[in-house]
């Protein structure tokens, strides 16, 4: 494979780092959302309003549903209680003396509090709602309000908060699966050091090693160590795919490019713009695909199958093989 001499190489020995099956600890749950078990604990809600009657109505309704409710009569007291009590949600009146609700939500976001904020006001306009959202509020309730409507908004907001946290848990678990565990082996430490240096470069990378030595783990680690870490990591297994199918997977195809191409399809390289494409077992690809891939590596542009327009993308290629290329 002629292109191989252009690539930085990292060879992996036949060894499996210990700890690969380490599990992420999880507590027992009563409710299931998107496949992640969530502990059914009491959420704390902070009600902030200078009107005592409003606070009382909201406190009684929310406490009847099992929520822990705190009260504050000013923006200053709200900020102080956020530091001490760590509530999950704040019901915040917009019009208050000394410090308005809009000023409070601005300060909440400035301080980096991860709390859901729902604004409440008797002056409910689209313009004010948009302003509140831009400042960091999560929702908006006009006065006079129906307590049951408030409960519905609060419940939905807390469910969205739980969903976001569950997604974060899933992301951590996925990252844990692909985390690189370092052994005491000098050879493995050397391979890790080479991979770290490669991550800081702009080089295309070729990983060589026997099957089962963790080439994809190294590829993901290089991606996560690089400045592309926030962009997609797209793996493609080149084994067992026909030339036509692999070409379409890599570069996409135009509508009508071949029989059955009823719609335009974006290829994996195009979808990974800004990130990394991992080509596993690149030694198995055909000479024709090698030629097209080599042109992409040189020019950083390609054409979809059946297309004539060059498409430029910013993608790093990491390839792997168990062959001696």
Q: What are the DSSP E strand ranges found in the chain? A: 8-12, 31-33, 36-38, 44-48, 68-72, 89-93, 116-121, 139-142, 205-209, 233-237, 252-253, 265-266, 276-280, 301-302, 311-312, 316-321
Which of 141, 132, 73, 142 lies closest to 108 in space, CA to CA?
Answer: 132
Strands 301-302, 311-312: pairing is: antiparallel
| CA separation for the pair 78, 111 (Å, rounded) | 13
Q: 75 and 99 in contact (C-beta within 8 Å)?
A: yes
Least confident range of 19-33, 35-49, 131-145, 292-306:
19-33
pLDDT in tens, 25-45: 323 222 232 333 333 347 899
Residue 262 or 220, more confident: 220
Q: 49 and 73 in contact (C-beta within 8 Å)?
A: yes
Instruction: Tell me the helix, strand and coil percentages in the chain, rounded to 5.
Output: 40, 20, 40
| CA separation for the pair 282, 208 (Å, rounded) | 10
Q: 12 and 222 in contact (C-beta within 8 Å)?
A: no
pLDDT in tens, 136-179: 999 988 888 888 899 999 999 988 887 876 676 566 555 555 55
CATH class (in words) of the domain with range 2-17+183-321: alpha beta
| CA separation for the pair 290, 211 (Å, rounded) | 22
> For residue 64, what are its two tokens?
């009847």
In degrees and rounded to multiples of 5, residue 21 shows phi and psi of -100, 20
- Hey, do 2-17+183-321 and 31-174 end up sharing a CATH topology, with the first three levels equal? yes
Task: Kindly tell me if the per-residue pLDDT of 15 is higher than 80.
Answer: no
Q: Is 172 helix (H, G, I), strand (E, B) or coil?
A: helix
Give DSSP secondary structure letters for 101-163.
HHHHHHHHHHTT---EEEEEESS--HHHHHHHHHHT-SEEEESS--HHHHHHHHHHHHHHHHH
End-to-end CA distance of the chain: 6
Architecture of domain 31-174: 3-Layer(aba) Sandwich (3.40)
Q: Where are the domains of the chain?
A: 2-17+183-321, 31-174
In degrees and rounded to multiples of 5, residue 310 shows phi and psi of -65, 140
Give pTM, 2 decimals: 0.48
Under the banding of pLDDT at 50, 70 and 90, the label for residue 267 is confident
């Amino acid at each position: 494979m002629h292109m191989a001499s252009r690539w930085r190489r990292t060879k992996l020995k036949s060894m499996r780092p210990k700890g690969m099956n380490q599990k992420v600890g999880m507590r027992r749950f009563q409710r299931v959302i998107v496949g992640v078990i969530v502990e059914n604990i009491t959420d704390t809600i902070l009600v902030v309003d200078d009107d005592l009657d409003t606070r009382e109505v909201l406190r009684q309704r929310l406490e009847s549903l099992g929520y822990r409710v705190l009260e504050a009569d000013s923006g200053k007291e709200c900020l102080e209680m956020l530091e001490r009590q760590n509530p999950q949600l704040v019901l915040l009146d917009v019009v208050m003396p000394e410090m308005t609700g809009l000023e409070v939500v601005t300060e909440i976001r400035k301080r980096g509090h991860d709390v859901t904020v729902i604004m409440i006001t008797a002056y409910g306009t689209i313009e004010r709602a948009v302003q509140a959202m831009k400042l960091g509020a999560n929702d908006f309730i006009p006065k006079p309000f129906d307590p049951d409507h408030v409960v519905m908004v609060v419940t939905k907001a807390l469910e969205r908060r739980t969903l976001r946290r569950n997604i974060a848990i899933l992301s951590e678990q996925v990252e844990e699966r692909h985390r690189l565990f370092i052994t005491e082996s000098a050879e493995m430490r050397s391979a890790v050091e080479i991979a770290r240096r490669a991550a800081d470069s702009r080089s295309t990378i070729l990983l060589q090693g026997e099957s089962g030595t963790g080439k994809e783990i190294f590829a993901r680690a290089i991606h996560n160590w690089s400045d592309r870490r926030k962009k997609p990591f797209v793996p493609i297994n080149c084994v067992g795919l026909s030339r036509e199918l692999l070409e379409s997977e890599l570069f996409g195809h135009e509508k009508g490019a071949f029989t059955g191409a009823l719609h335009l399809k974006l290829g994996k390289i195009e979808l990974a713009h800004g990130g990394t494409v991992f080509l596993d077992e690149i030694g198995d690809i055909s000479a024709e695909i090698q030629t097209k891939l080599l042109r992409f590596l040189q020019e950083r542009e390609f054409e979809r199958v059946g297309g004539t327009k060059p498409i430029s993308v910013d993608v790093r290629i990491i390839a792997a093989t168990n062959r001696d290329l």
